[in-house]
Structure 1
Amino acid sequence: MGKALFIIDVQNDFTEGGALGVEGGAAVAAGISGYLAAHSGEYAAIFASRDWHDADNDNGGHFATDAAPDFVHTWPRHCVAGTTGADYHPALDTSAVTFHIRKGQGVPAYSIFEGRTEAGSSVHNLLDEHGIDQIDVVGIATDYCVRASALDALGHGQRVRVITDLVAGVAPESSETALAELAHAGAELIVSR
């Protein structure tokens, strides 16, 4: 069986200066690139997800349009398909990425498993096709999309490791809580080497 890497939502809108920028996002982008330079050959497949929201609607209530966002279920407009905000952060080298996953088109989506490739393939099917039984997870944000993606991977029977120095979260407290939840659910918390 094989191992895959999930790179979650390392996009301009989720890094410093973006619509929902998190502190440390740019450093995570650069750190992942360094990690890939040293370790990409260890993975049978590398998946990179991006929020890819519709521009002409509220994406199933995900974008706050009539009231202030609550930053739990509703958010400011972010990662609109085809915009600079939806692009990968420039410090992230995507040359080793096998599959680019788009999620959140017209609906709220946090987990990479809710997305598809441009050709329409699901993450679950691609993992099966490539005989993947272990997934390492990196990216943004620890307390939202990294958490959801890792929990879904565990739910799909994968062995999961979260590389804790290659993630960045919205807030320290909620990020610590998310990592504790993931460890309790069976994920291994490691640091890059």
Structure 2
Amino acid sequence: MTKALFIIDVQNDFTEGGALGVDGGAAVAADTTRYLAHAHGDYALVIASRDWHDPEGDNGGHFAAPGTDPDYVATWPSHCVAGTAGAEYHPGLDLSHVSMHVKKGQGEPAYSIYDGEVEGGASDGATISAVLEEHGVTEVDVVGIATDYCVRASVLDAIEHGRHVRVFTDLIAGVARESSDAALLEMGHAGAVLGASDSD
């Protein structure tokens, strides 16, 4: 079976000190780098996604309106704005084994990697679904941030698109314990296999 790795949103704004930083985000970057150092050969594709929001406007209501508080469910503080340091990958994530990059949320809310478009190369502008089909990918492993939002959405979409999905629970970090636990349960019920990256 042909396998891909999704690295979801390991960005400065989602790690400690960022606009929406989560505890453990920097560790996800470092530990994913260590994992890829020995496991990159297992994958036909290593695909990294980033939120890449427009600097102007509210990105389809994704950013809270000026002067209002975000509800942290549907509206958020400004984050991962295109061209800013917050939108860049965390420096602890080694990109040398990443074969494809995806930008999502360009002017609209977008949580799943399936909501984005491939950046650069022969597949520029393509959807992840089309790329996986083209490469015959049947299995997807998922790591990244945040467990309870973009990881969750990406995993559920991958399952819906017929992929066998594993979530490496030692290579993810969530916004909150309760919502992350609920997301893991939901992913498991949907058919994802949950386990550590060294469980092979």
TM above 0.5? yes
Q: Which residue of 1 is the match for residue 182 of structure 2?
A: 177
Residue 190 of structure 1, CA deviation: 1.2
Residue 157 of structure 1, CA deviation: 0.3
Q: Distance in 2 between matches of 1:117 and 1:82?
A: 17
| Residue 141 of structure 2 corresponds to residue 136 of structure 1 | yes
Residue 117 of structure 1, CA deviation: 1.3
Aligned sequence identity (%) = 66
Q: Distance in 2 between matches of 1:4 and 1:117?
A: 15
Alignment TM-score, normalising by the size of structure 1 = 0.99
Q: Distance in 2 between matches of 1:190 and 1:95?
A: 25
Q: Which residue of 2 is the match for residue 105 of structure 1?
A: 106
Give the secondary-structure state (helix, strand or coil) at the position aligned to 2:118.
coil
Task: Give the AA of the match of 2:83.
Answer: G
Q: Distance in 1 between matches of 2:186 and 2:133?
A: 26
Q: Distance in 2 between matches of 1:99 and 1:139?
A: 15
Which stretches in structure 2 are left out of the alignment for 5+ residues? none
Report which stretch shifted further, 87-96 or 114-123: 114-123
Task: Give the AA of the match of 1:25.
Answer: G
Q: How many residues are matched?
A: 193
Residue 110 of structure 1, CA deviation: 0.1
Which stretches in structure 1 are left out of the alignment for 5+ residues? none
Q: Which residue of 2 is the match for residue 5 of structure 1?
A: 5
What is the correspondence of 1:1-193 to structure 2 with a 5 Å cutoff?
1-66=1-66, 67-118=68-119, 119-193=124-198
Q: Distance in 2 between matches of 1:8 and 1:14?
A: 11
Q: Deviations over 1:3-35 (max 9, x none)?
A: 000000000000000000000000010000000
Q: Distance in 2 between matches of 1:190 and 1:2?
A: 20
Q: Deviations over 1:161-191 (max 9, x none)?
A: 0000000000011101100100000000010
Alignment TM-score, normalising by the size of structure 2 = 0.95
Task: Give the AA of the match of 2:117.
Answer: R
Residue 192 of structure 1, CA deviation: 1.2
Compute the RMSD of aligned alpha carbons: 0.6
Q: Distance in 2 between matches of 1:117 and 1:164?
A: 26
Report which stretch shifted further, 62-71 or 80-89: 62-71
4+ residue runs over 2 A deviation: none
Task: Give the AA of the match of 2:159.
Answer: L
Q: Distance in 1 between matches of 2:147 and 2:60?
A: 23
Task: Give the AA of the match of 2:131.
Answer: L
Q: Distance in 1 between matches of 2:96 and 2:79?
A: 24
Q: Deviations over 1:136-167 (max 9, x none)?
A: 00000000000000000000000000000000
Residue 57 of structure 1, CA deviation: 1.1
Residue 121 of structure 1, CA deviation: 1.1
Q: Distance in 1 between matches of 2:126 and 2:48?
A: 14
Q: Distance in 2 between matches of 1:102 and 1:60?
A: 16
